[in-house]
Copies of this chain bind each other. A is one copy, B any other.
Amino acid sequence: MSNPNEDYFATRRTIRRYADRPVSDELLENILERAMRAPTCGNMQLYSVVVNRDPEMKKLIAPTHFNQPTVAGCSALLTICADFNRFTRWCKLSDADPGFDNPLSFLNAATDAIIYAQQIVTIAEMEGLGTCWLGTVLYNADKIAEILELPDLTIPVACLTVGWPAEEPPLVERLPLKAVMHKEKYRKDSDEEIIELFKAKDDFPDNAKYIAESGKKTLAQVFCDCRYPRSLNEDFSRSFAETLRKKGFLK
């Protein structure tokens, strides 16, 4: 086992600001190719990645990610899609009758795409690059699909910015392993135990700043009222369902 202070995995962090130096096509393609050895459902490789480097394309895409500066500032923007289009076309061309136009098949493809995206993150970071995973991709999947001209049975589910790091942010807090790990069955924690498990989060110095900035009383209120409010979650749920329908996964 590695020394936790030197281990890449134990110390990895998201990088949002990048140097001007571009990531070469050769390196990027090498990473995308090696990442294809990640696990994939039945070896079907139900994913695609759209690489955006053109500043005009990034300008078009940026609003779908709420204009987070990391989009304009990255060397490459990677949109990773759950993709049953390619496989379905191959099946039809091979005298077979594909039945992948349903929600479970979407989940299979989304799983493949997220595994592939995380493998890209790991390989890129081990090559010295920085990456930032943009969860916003799920909120505006329909608009992103339009800009990237995604075909049927293809929906963006992960987005990464990639570049040479121009910052070295401190490690943020994580829950203790006990919060996440259960032995044999899911543990039934008491309210007091839940509070104890989140103590590191409630006590993390930077979080006091967010609470003050938002004019809230607790960190949980920042999450529920400001960052991920119910009304937005419900709006985005409806628009994602509509994207699933439009892209042919609800037949």
**Partner-B contacts on A (CB < 8 A):** 1, 4, 7, 9-14, 26-27, 29-30, 32-39, 41-45, 47-54, 57, 86-87, 89-91, 93-100, 102-105, 107-108, 110-111, 114-115, 117-119, 121-123, 127, 133, 135, 138-139, 148-151, 154, 157-158, 171-175, 177, 179-186, 188-189, 191, 194-195, 197-198, 202, 217-221, 223-225, 227-231, 233-234, 236-237, 240-241
Residues of B contacting A191 in the complex (Cβ-Cβ under 8 angstroms): 89, 93
A57 to B148: give the CA distance in the assembly, Å. Answer: 46
Question: When the two chains form their complex, are residues B14 and A220 in contact, meaning their CB atoms are under 8 A apart?
Answer: no
Of the residues B96, B103, B221, contact of A237 by C-beta under 8 Å = B103
Question: When the two chains form their complex, are residues B220 and A91 in contact, meaning their CB atoms are under 8 A apart?
Answer: yes
Q: From known contacts A121-B39, A229-B99, A233-B102, infer whether A180 and B54 are also in contact, taking CB-CB under 8 Å.
A: no
Residues of B contacting A38 in the complex (Cβ-Cβ under 8 angstroms): 12, 118, 121
Q: From known contacts A99-B229, A231-B99, infer whether A93 and B194 are also in contact, taking CB-CB under 8 Å.
A: yes
14 contacts between A and B (CB under 8 A): A9-B34, A10-B34, A39-B133, A41-B135, A45-B175, A47-B180, A49-B182, A89-B189, A93-B220, A95-B217, A99-B233, A110-B110, A148-B185, A150-B186
